[in-house]
Every structure is written in C-alpha cells, then in structure tokens.
Amino acid sequence: MISKSVWQNAYRDPLEKEQMRVGPPPTDEQIEALQRGDLPDDEAERVREVLSYYPDLVRAMTMPFPDGDEVLTQEELADLAALREKVQTLPKQPAVFPERRQPSRVLAIAASIVVMVAIAGFVVWLATPGETRSKATRVLIADGHRAAGAQTPIQLSTRADYLLKPVFRPERSYSEYRLDLLQADATPRVIWSRNHIRRQPDGSYPVELSTAHLAPGLYELVLYGVDGDSADRMAVYTIRISAS
C-alpha cells in the first residue's frame, strides 16, 4: 500500500531537477492571462504544468494576507522611518489632485531658457535633412481573441510610428475609455496613459503610438472602460517592439 504521505515525501525533495527541465516559471503576464481565462486551452494547460513545478510561486499567489498585530516593533518603526527618508530622495510624484502653485521667478527663467533651446533645436532639426519616420495603421485584436497564435505578441518596430486601432466589444457602454501603455518586463510600469478616448463606429479606440523613444521589448496596451471615478479593465494587447 502506498500512502499519500509516501508520495508527499517524494515531493518534499527539491524540485530543481524538474524545474531545470520545464524551464523558468511563468511570467506575471502569463499568470494573469491564465487567471482571466484568456489563454487557449492547450496554452493554459502548458502554463499550469510549468506552474505546478513552482509551488512557492503558487503559494505566494494564493496565500491570504494574515490578520494580526498592527503594532510596530522598534525595528519596524526604524524601517518605516528609513522608508520615509528613501521616499524623500525619490523623484517627486505628482499628487493625485495637484495643487495649483505660482511658479517662482527662477523657475520662470529656467522655463524660458528651455523653451528657447527647444525652439533653436527645432529650427536646426528642420534645416537638417534626416530620416522620415513612416506611419502605419494597425488594427489590434485583444489577447485571447487572436485566432492563430493567440499568445504571440503583436509585432511593432521602433522604425515606424503607428495609429493603433485596438478593437473590442465591451459588455456595456462606458462614458469614455482609457488606454495605458505599460512596459511589461519584470517590474511593469506605465509609459503613458491616454484619457477621454471614444469608441468609434467600427468598434476601435484609436490612439497614436510614437515608438521613437521606446526601448525594444515587451509592452502591454490596456483598455479600460471609464465611468466617473471607476475604471474597468477590459482588454489587453501584448505588443513586442523590436528594433528591426
């Protein structure tokens, strides 16, 4: 008779050998797509298979936040003080509801210099024959809805600018829509956010994308339906921008 504990003991051994065989753990994007049900069946099973070799990752996903003592120890208070100090050294973040402030005289002079330099640069740029960037229109189908290779990112190039037309049929209409472009590496960050977007009669949400200053890599264009203060995440378009 083989008991469950015998089997569990076998699985208590480190899984490094198996992990080497199946490859690195799934990315946040794969896990989120799996949990949203956006992956085709065979891809979903493949991600589940890999994930099952990384129980520590599954534990981090599923563990509820423990309730408990909210009182901070001396060490934790010191850590918190250090955190506040670190925050002071970071670039200033825009307030959620920024106050309108009068610019100082020094700031006004600095701004004038910046404007003059920018104008001079623009004049030089106009006088210099240079490469003209092409502009292409791309219709984007959301992740999980692209028929073939549903998980293959949409390919774009840094050599062109684009009018992107993500298409999506929302379950209900919203007063307006928002599109966020995120750099989708290990620590996703928002590159830009475009508000007040209207759904067009063809079902698209057009937005301009200039790739000139984007690093090659993986990005996510995320479409939100917005009503007042609330925003519903509706669709994701994974994009790979390459230098070629």
Q: Rule CB under 8 A: which of 61-90 touch another protein? A: 61-63, 65-72, 75-76, 79-80, 82-84, 86-88, 90
| CB neighbour class for 141 (10 Å; exposed up to 12, middle 13-18, buried from 19) | middle
User: Which C-beta is closer to another protein: that of 145 or that of 165?
Assistant: 145
Nearest distance in Å: CB 61, another protein: 5
User: Which C-beta is closer to another protein: that of 13 or that of 202?
Assistant: 13
Nearest distance in Å: CB 43, another protein: 12
Between β-strands 160-167 and 230-242, what pairing exists: parallel, antiparallel or unpaired? unpaired
- Residue 6 in the binding site for another protein (CB under 8 A): yes
Site residues for another protein, 211-230, by CB under 8 A, read 229
The contact pattern for another protein, residues 26-65, with x = CB under 8 A and - = no contact, is --x--x--xxxx------xx--xx-xxxxxxxxxxxxx-x
> What would the DSSP string read from start to end of 54-79?
-HHHHHHHHPPPPP---PPPHHHHHH
| Token reading at 119 | 């104008």
Cα separation of 11 and 26, whole Å? Answer: 20
Query: Which helix H or strand E contains 50, and what residues bound it?
Result: helix 41-51
**Options 172, 231, 236, 239; binder of another protein; rule CB under 8 A:** 231
The site that binds another protein (CB under 8 A) totals a number of residues, namely 76
Q: What are the CA-CA distances from residue 82 to residues 17, 79, 136, 192 (Å)? A: 40, 5, 49, 30
Cα separation of 24 and 244, whole Å? Answer: 27
User: Which C-beta is closer to another protein: that of 167 or that of 219?
Assistant: 219
Nearest distance in Å: CB 228, another protein: 10
Site residues for another protein, 104-143, by CB under 8 A, read none
Which stretch, 92-100, 113-121, 123-131, 157-165, contacts another protein (CB under 8 A)? Answer: 92-100
Cα separation of 22 and 52, whole Å? Answer: 10
Nearest distance in Å: CB 82, another protein: 7
| Token reading at 193 | 């956010």
Site residues for another protein, 172-201, by CB under 8 A, read 180, 186-187, 189-190, 193
Nearest distance in Å: CB 137, another protein: 28
Between β-strands 189-197 and 154-157, what pairing exists: parallel, antiparallel or unpaired? unpaired
